[in-house]
Chain A
Amino acid sequence: MTAPLLEVDNLSVQFVVGRGRRKRIIRAVQDASFSIGHGETLAVVGESGSGKSTTAQAILGLVNPSAGSVMFEGSDLLKNSSREMREVRRHLQVVFQDPYSSLDPMMTVADLIAEPLDNFEKLSSAARSDKVGELLELVRLPANAATRYPHEFSGGQRQRIAIARALAVNPKLIICDEAVSALDVSIRNQILTLLRDLQEQLGVSYLFIGHDLSMIEQFAERVAVMYLGRIVETGTVEEVFRSPRHQYTGALLSAIPTHHKALRAGRIILQGEIPDPASPPSGCVFHPRCPAATEICGTTRPPAVQTKSGEALCHHPLEIDSRG
């Protein structure tokens, strides 16, 4: 058993907002643990305030965690100096959510894609050109895109450019931070298919962050569900989708709009809204909205219930095979 590519252990990230009496501590991420193997895709799913994006930022070194460790290829990223971190970035790349703001409008596509190359390697102009051409082909964009500017491309095409850039220095892990959320549905699946093909071809791993469970089933192998900073359930996609154990996962799955009347019938509509991360509920953070909550849920942190492929932190986990 080879060691996982990325291993996050008890990661916590806190933000302090305001000063003096108005100081509030926002626990954006609390005790998050998960791992990603080589050539594997892990989806981290949650709604607003779940801490999923903050987790990605912590891994990338864009925010400072307050506790925990992030082992990437055997060394702890959090202990890196900024120079060491910069070296790590060859192997750890990102595709951002908004294709319209993540590409510098004043640069040509070639310069955009080649930026990581320029940072890490000294290539001759011809070699650079060739590499750009290769990358464009990998993401199925025409070769003449190289001399054009981002504004000439549609959202889906821009994401391809972003993916090409991410692939430029052969990363081992790519973090897709809501990378397809801003795209039209028919284009979204194009990009997901492309990502999947690239994974097969190049053996790259993905940390896929999203809020939409519906596309995860076709795309990821494992999933971690987050709510208000905590990971409430983990497992393989097959298991979690067919047999969610955490009440929130069940509600999330049933909330997906669908034409399947049978699935609609069993829908759980949660009451209320996601609470303020600065004052999270006591005990189980989900209990105020949980349809199965009892007294213990408001006082004690839930135990980890082991499942076949992962675990769920719930006092009253759902029955196995509840979704059939």
Chain B
Amino acid sequence: MAKNVAEEVEASSSSSPLLSVEGASVEFWTGSSWLRVVDQVSFVVPAGGRVGIVGESGSGKTMTGLAILGLIPGPAGRLAEGSIKFDGHDLAQLPPAEMRRIRGNDIAMVFQEPMRSLNPMMSIGDQIAEGMRRHWGWSKKKATNRAIELLDRVEIPAAAQRAREYPHHLSGGMRQRAMIALALACDPKLLIADEPTTALDVTVQAQIIELFRELSDERDMALLFITHDLGVVSELCSDLVVMYSGQVVETGDVDRVFDRPTHPYTEGLLQSLPKLGAGNRELGFIPGNPPDPAALPPGCRFQPRCPHALPICETSQPELLTIGDRQSRCLLNSELSLQGVGS
């Protein structure tokens, strides 16, 4: 089982987490000013741990993932502030050459649409082998053999054959597996996955989730799983980071957050989950839409949609408070008793 944050912290007070994001903010130039799309986000990923970042469109979750890898599309985008400590180094301060060494080698990323990330002009095997040849200086033969091993591990049948094929020959599920094999090529310590299963069929999604679980266990590889699907996060991750409108609004152990959320948005998301019970016709939803980053409400960003909001929520902006091993960004934190979903 993956370690969760609390256990990790207890187990080794001297060792720091593998990834520690502190106060990271991402901004985009709109032509007249800087627009902040990720606002002072902080969270940790312990070595070998599995953390899920949950949010909907506009929450800034994808940007956060890209920021860690230094892939914010420039020059219009920038990491305005904050630190991203990985294995002792602050990635935000690293020179480009150093960053290139880490990318693909220590930290790998898997995207939602593998067709866009795989080079259509190279065979699968060659693409996977390239990383090993580049980062580790391996010979083509050695690297290709390992590539076939990896394809086999991600359960692509007839791996040796497939290694010679091109991305467009593979089905969606296969491509995503190839993408994962590619990410694993240089044995990364951290794998960032951005909505890797969203575009897949439900039965294939179940297979891929199982694969992620196995890989993370057997390689002691940390996983940062970015998604909008709380159900998937509950299956795979031990810790949860909920983002809304560019901010972290809640963090904590998955089971505990599900059982008793401390932020109304989390509560709303949980209530929107399918209620797989006989004859239940209730459809939970959150009214309204996420705010325009260029026209944020003066107080709490969730307030316009919050069923528990009080007048103070319209004027004061809540801070992210730490309570034990959980965090929450709600002014009415202590007064609310929010409804979770059982397990």
B174 touches A184 (CB 8 A): no
A193 touches B283 (CB 8 A): yes
Neighbouring B residues of A185 by C-beta, 8 Å? 56, 228-230, 269, 272-273
- Asked if B279 CB lies within 8 Å of chain A CBs, one says yes
From 196 to 238 in chain A, residues with beta carbon under 8 angstroms from any chain B beta carbon are 196, 211-215, 217-219, 238
Q: B217 CB to closest chain A CB, in angstroms?
A: 16
Q: B9 CB to closest chain A CB, in angstroms?
A: 24
Q: Please classify how large the interface on chain A is, using the bins under 10, 10 to 19, 20 to 34, 35 or more.
A: 35 or more
- Alpha-carbon gap, A268 to B254, bound state (A): 24
Neighbouring B residues of A270 by C-beta, 8 Å? 203, 206-207
From 250 to 266 in chain A, residues with beta carbon under 8 angstroms from any chain B beta carbon are 251-252, 254-264
Neighbouring A residues of B203 by C-beta, 8 Å? 47, 251-252, 255, 269-270
Q: B298 CB to closest chain A CB, in angstroms?
A: 21
Given A217-B274, A217-B275, A241-B278, 6 more contacts at CB 8 Å?
A189-B283, A211-B201, A256-B274, A257-B231, A259-B231, A259-B258
- Asked if B202 CB lies within 8 Å of chain A CBs, one says yes
Closest to B157 in A: A272
- Asked if B104 CB lies within 8 Å of chain A CBs, one says no
From 168 to 191 in chain A, residues with beta carbon under 8 angstroms from any chain B beta carbon are 184-190
From 197 to 218 in chain B, residues with beta carbon under 8 angstroms from any chain A beta carbon are 201-207, 209-210
A273 touches B171 (CB 8 A): yes
Q: A303 CB to closest chain B CB, in angstroms?
A: 24
- Asked if B16 CB lies within 8 Å of chain A CBs, one says no
Neighbouring B residues of A155 by C-beta, 8 Å? 57
- Asked if B232 CB lies within 8 Å of chain A CBs, one says yes
A189 touches B228 (CB 8 A): no
A-B pairs with beta carbons under 8 Å apart, 21 shown:
A47-B201, A47-B203, A154-B289, A157-B289, A185-B272, A189-B285, A189-B286, A217-B274, A218-B283, A241-B276, A241-B278, A257-B205, A257-B209, A258-B274, A259-B230, A259-B343, A260-B276, A262-B343, A264-B235, A273-B173, A273-B204
Neighbouring B residues of A269 by C-beta, 8 Å? 203, 206-207, 210
B278 touches A48 (CB 8 A): no
- Alpha-carbon gap, A211 to B172, bound state (A): 15
- Alpha-carbon gap, A211 to B210, bound state (A): 20
- Asked if A242 CB lies within 8 Å of chain B CBs, one says yes
- Alpha-carbon gap, A188 to B57, bound state (A): 12
- Asked if B75 CB lies within 8 Å of chain A CBs, one says no
Neighbouring A residues of B234 by C-beta, 8 Å? 257-259
Report if A186-B207 is in contact (Cβ < 8 Å); known contacts: A212-B202, A256-B202.
no
- Asked if B17 CB lies within 8 Å of chain A CBs, one says no
Neighbouring B residues of A259 by C-beta, 8 Å? 230-231, 234-235, 254, 258, 273, 341, 343
- Asked if B308 CB lies within 8 Å of chain A CBs, one says no
B206 touches A257 (CB 8 A): yes
- Asked if A61 CB lies within 8 Å of chain B CBs, one says no
Q: A201 CB to closest chain B CB, in angstroms?
A: 16
- Alpha-carbon gap, A155 to B57, bound state (A): 10
- Alpha-carbon gap, A210 to B191, bound state (A): 31
Closest to A289 in B: B203
B202 touches A47 (CB 8 A): yes
- Asked if A89 CB lies within 8 Å of chain B CBs, one says no
- Asked if B281 CB lies within 8 Å of chain A CBs, one says yes
- Asked if B284 CB lies within 8 Å of chain A CBs, one says yes
Report if A238-B279 is in contact (Cβ < 8 Å); known contacts: A211-B201, A261-B343, A270-B203.
yes
A256 touches B275 (CB 8 A): no
Which interface residue of A154, A187, A192, A257 has the most chain B CB atoms within 10 A?
Answer: A257
